[in-house]
Structure 1
Amino acid sequence: MTFAEATSAFAAYAWGPHMLFLLVGGGLFFLFYSGFAPFRYLKHAINILRGKYDEPNAEGQISHLGALSSAMAGTVGMGNIGGVALAMVAGGPGAIFWMWVSAIVGMATKFFTCTLAIMYRGHDDQGVVRGGPMYIITEGLGPKWKPLAVFFAVVGMMGNFPLFNTNQLVTIVKEWVVLGPDNMGTGGASDHFWLQLGLGAIIMVVVGSVVLGGITRIAAVATKAVPTMIVIYVGCAVYVIGSHIEQVPGYLAQIVTDAFSMKSVAGGILGTLLIGVKRAAFSNEAGIGTEVMAHGSAKTAQPVKEGLVAMLGPAIDTLLVCTATALIILISGVWQQGGVDGISLSSRAFEETMPGVGPYLLLLCVVFFAITTIITQAFYGSQCFRFLCGSRYVPLYQSFFLLTILFAATTSLNNVVNLIDGAYALMAIPTMISAVLLAPKVKVAAKQYFASLKQQ
């Protein structure tokens, strides 16, 4: 069995129908179990994000805004641009509908998992407060559940290697900056290998200069870069949608009808649904557990507040950014032409809908999205490694993490996608199991918190 065949088999096994039950079924459980209460406090969540209820003296390392920005730096990236293109090629427009569904139930999932992130924080071997599924499991479920926490930490390190974002960033820079659109596909394999390796080395140096500063530096970079890039990216989408507004209702209808088509390119409704859920998991990470590590670093003594802030994430990165990408691709029509995938397809869509300037605006967003995502992944992986091996050897992990950037820059897209998809599926198992078991604790805390708001 070749490496490509092995990675494909790994992803296929990990993303069986059981993942629908775990992620979508679990999300629906959280949605109904909460009585939709968190959704009635969206305005309050925004006020928390604005700093109205900050607790500067509380335990933690970063603000609510810093926590959400750090979490979104890890989610708003190639999953929202290249990932949407992958979803449409593999599952057709209907996959976007199931991404929407996953985002809505994912909001409820994030409320529960990120409330637990504060409720059951732990301390590392240096006494620093830490959050994440591994601490939720050990602090909330008890020492006998530690093997499940160890399992998450092991697959969490694998899932947070910077493979997909590096691969796609190198691809778009190579195609639109170095080779140029007129010379795409030219040159020998060895020429491209050394070019890609060189681009990977540049990314490695840039990322290394930030990740060694820890979560406070990551949050500082993310807080400045992510909102700006979202505004630019959504601005491009507004321009494209506005100039083709008469076509938009038809494409939205196509997304819905294709979601229930037995003739979809994915082989029917179940195939389309699986692809949509898989790509949504990579887009917003609800139920995967990575975002829990970012929100677990927030300065707050009130767990429900962080759960409300975290709930905003899927609404922004999937319902807003992914929908923007999908409409640009649909309007361009390039998704039906074949021959390209991932970020290459998205860049062609931008070229078709915004000739000349489009791909370079996309390139600007992609550079910032990808770099901030890779930086956040380094933090997530370090958290997992620290839980397993202690703080002393974290620099060794960070060095290995940076070296994987070179591998990702020179390997194929399919290998990268399969490795990350498989790891994400495995990460969801301990995250969702622990969240479901501890859901009653969240419900009690939420009931008390919402009652206190009514008395104010």
Structure 2
Amino acid sequence: MTLASVTGQFADMAWGPHMLVLLVGGGFFFLIYSRFVPFRYIGHAIAILRGKHPDKGAQGQISHAGALSSAMAGTVGMGNIGSVAVAIMVGGPGAIFWMWISAIVGMATKFFTCTLAIMYRGKDENGQLQGGPMYIITEGLGPKWRFLAVFFCLVGLVGNFPLFNTNQLVQILREWLVIKPGFYSTAQDTFWLDLSMGVVVMLLVGSVILGGIKRIATVAQSVVPTMIFIYMGCAIYVIGSHISEIPAYFSLIVTEAFSLDSVGGGILGTMLIGIRRAAFSNEAGIGTEVMAHGSARTNEPVKEGLVAMLGPAIDTLLVCTATAMIILISGVWQGSEAAGVNLSAQAFELTMPGVGPYLLILCVFFFSISTIFTQAFYGGQCFSFLFGVKRLRKYQYVYLLTILFAATATLDEIINLIDGAYALMAIPTMVSALLLAPKVKDAADDYFARLKQKQSGDSVTVPGEEPEKEGG
């Protein structure tokens, strides 16, 4: 029995139909329970993100924009490029439809979980405010639920290892920058080549993650928006060049989503594959992004919930759809033996001859590296909760060493291990959010009532919010 087969069985067990009920069913509950109210304030969420409603004397380590950038650095990456390719190859075009559904309900999930991230923050032994599902559980549900917090952190240590992103980054660099130009023969053993690239990635990542969340957020705010702009520019060019074909591909996605003969093994199989890949793309309900948003500098939980809600819309509805269109337009998903990011690279080569793969490599490099930075913070939060902040450096050194393993492992071994851990992380995250949902609803009703009064000109202010300057 191989490692790939063992991790495959683990992932399949973790991602059973129960996960469909928990993530999608839970997301639908949040959607209905909130009466769609947060969705009507997306404009307000963007204003918060732009710094229009700052909090006076707010606690926290990073800004709203820094929190969203850090969270998206962990989601806009290989989950949007390599993971979409995996979804289409394993589940067919119909898997993309279920990624969309997962993203829509995921917006509601993120509103609830990230509002709770601020509402129930805890302190580490240094007195520093921290957020995440483990603190939501212990502070919101009480000590008797601590076992659930410990469980989240244990599986979070595995789920946040930099395995998938490192593996896919090394693969695309090796294939397009070393083998294709003829610097290395495909017949040669690539182990030492992959290991060498892994060492370079490890040193680069180490220079950032040892500086903590503030340095990670600074890098993410600089890199992520630029890379999304470049990537979406490529997508707009490809889609614009084949605009007459786009309706047919959207129709194919919807048709295949409900096909009994789909590649994914029928409707349920395709649905599970789409939700599985969406979880890796936007992390709604998984709990990782809750840790980034829990570090936001704000006294108003609902504000951070609104900002967090924008994440799935950007990374899944926008970036993942762009990737899917490029792959479908290129036709490489039919008959290609490539996997993951290399399939996406082939699609870029066919749709943007010459320059396409190298623009993708540029985006992949920065997406992957920024995701690895953020995962180091997430894993570090889990480790610190279990073993204390004073021992964090030991975890960070182990984290850096796993980059070397990921650089030389196979995709199947990597993706199954991470998939299984992600599914298990969702259990404590969603259970705690569902139990505490009434607290979020009460806070949201209060916040939106005060906001409505303020917008109508009444002398009501949001507590802690700095008064707007005249003419502002």
Report the TM range for the smaller structure's normalisation. Answer: over 0.9
Q: Which residue of 2 aligns with 1:318?
A: 316
Task: Supply the RMSD in Å over aligned alpha carbons.
Answer: 0.9
Match for 1:346 among 334, 344, 347? 344
Q: How does 1:18-97 map to 2 (within 5 A)?
A: 18-55=18-55, 57-97=57-97
Q: Which residue of 2 aligns with 1:102?
A: 102
2:178 and 2:184 in contact (8 A); partners too: no
Structure 1 distance, partners of 2:2, 2:332, is 31
1:175 and 1:184 in contact (8 A); partners too: no
Q: How does 1:133-152 map to 2 (within 5 A)?
A: 133-152=133-152
Q: Which residue of 1 aligns with 2:194?
A: 196
Structure 1 distance, partners of 2:54, 2:231, is 29
The TM-score normalised by the length of structure 2 is 0.95
Which residue identity is paired with 2:270? T
Which residue identity is paired with 1:47? A
Q: Which has the higher helix share?
A: 1
3-state DSSP of counterpart to 1:432: helix
Which residue identity is paired with 1:179? I
Deviation of 1:337 (Å): 1.8
Which residue identity is paired with 2:432? S
1:130 and 1:296 in contact (8 A); partners too: yes
2:167 and 2:408 in contact (8 A); partners too: yes
Consecutive unaligned residues in structure 2, runs of 5 or more: 455-472
Q: Deviations over 1:208-261 (max 9, x none)?
A: 000011000000000010000000000000000000101001001101111000
1:159 and 1:424 in contact (8 A); partners too: yes
Consecutive unaligned residues in structure 1, runs of 5 or more: none
1:54 and 1:64 in contact (8 A); partners too: no
Match for 1:377 among 363, 375, 378? 375
Instruction: Say if 1:102 and 1:397 are closer, same or farther in 2 by CA, change over 3 A.
Output: same
Structure 2 distance, partners of 1:182, 1:84, is 29
Structure 2 distance, partners of 1:315, 1:422, is 24
Instruction: Say if 1:126 and 1:355 are closer, same or farther in 2 by CA, change over 3 A.
Output: same
Instruction: Say if 1:310 and 1:184 are closer, same or farther in 2 by CA, change over 3 A.
Output: farther
**Corresponding position: 1:187 with 2:177:** no
Instruction: Say if 1:180 and 1:69 are closer, same or farther in 2 by CA, change over 3 A.
Output: same
Q: Which residue of 1 aligns with 2:221?
A: 223
Which residue identity is paired with 1:35? R
Q: Which residue of 2 aligns with 1:284?
A: 282
1:332 and 1:349 in contact (8 A); partners too: yes
Structure 1 distance, partners of 2:387, 2:21, is 33
The TM-score normalised by the length of structure 1 is 0.99
Instruction: Say if 1:184 and 1:34 are closer, same or farther in 2 by CA, change over 3 A.
Output: farther
1:66 and 1:220 in contact (8 A); partners too: yes
Q: Which residue of 2 aligns with 1:167?
A: 167
| Paired residue total | 454
Q: Which residue of 1 aligns with 2:420?
A: 422
Deviation of 1:2 (Å): 2.4
Which residue identity is paired with 1:364? L
Q: Deviations over 1:363-415 (max 9, x none)?
A: 00000000000000000000000000001110000000000000000000000
1:280 and 1:318 in contact (8 A); partners too: yes
Aligned-pair identity (%): 72
Structure 2 distance, partners of 1:58, 1:45, is 18
Which residue identity is paired with 1:142? G
Q: How does 1:251-330 map to 2 (within 5 A)?
A: 251-330=249-328
Deviation of 1:179 (Å): 1.4
Q: How does 1:437-448 map to 2 (within 5 A)?
A: 437-448=435-446
Q: Which residue of 2 aligns with 1:396?
A: 394
Deviation of 1:182 (Å): 6.0
Deviation of 1:338 (Å): 2.5
Which residue identity is paired with 2:240? G
Which residue identity is paired with 1:395? R
1:160 and 1:380 in contact (8 A); partners too: yes
Structure 1 distance, partners of 2:11, 2:182, is 35
Structure 2 distance, partners of 1:29, 1:367, is 37
Q: Deviations over 1:324-362 (max 9, x none)?
A: 000000000000023111001000000000000000000
Structure 1 distance, partners of 2:202, 2:253, is 38
3-state DSSP of counterpart to 1:338: coil
Q: Which residue of 2 aligns with 1:16?
A: 16
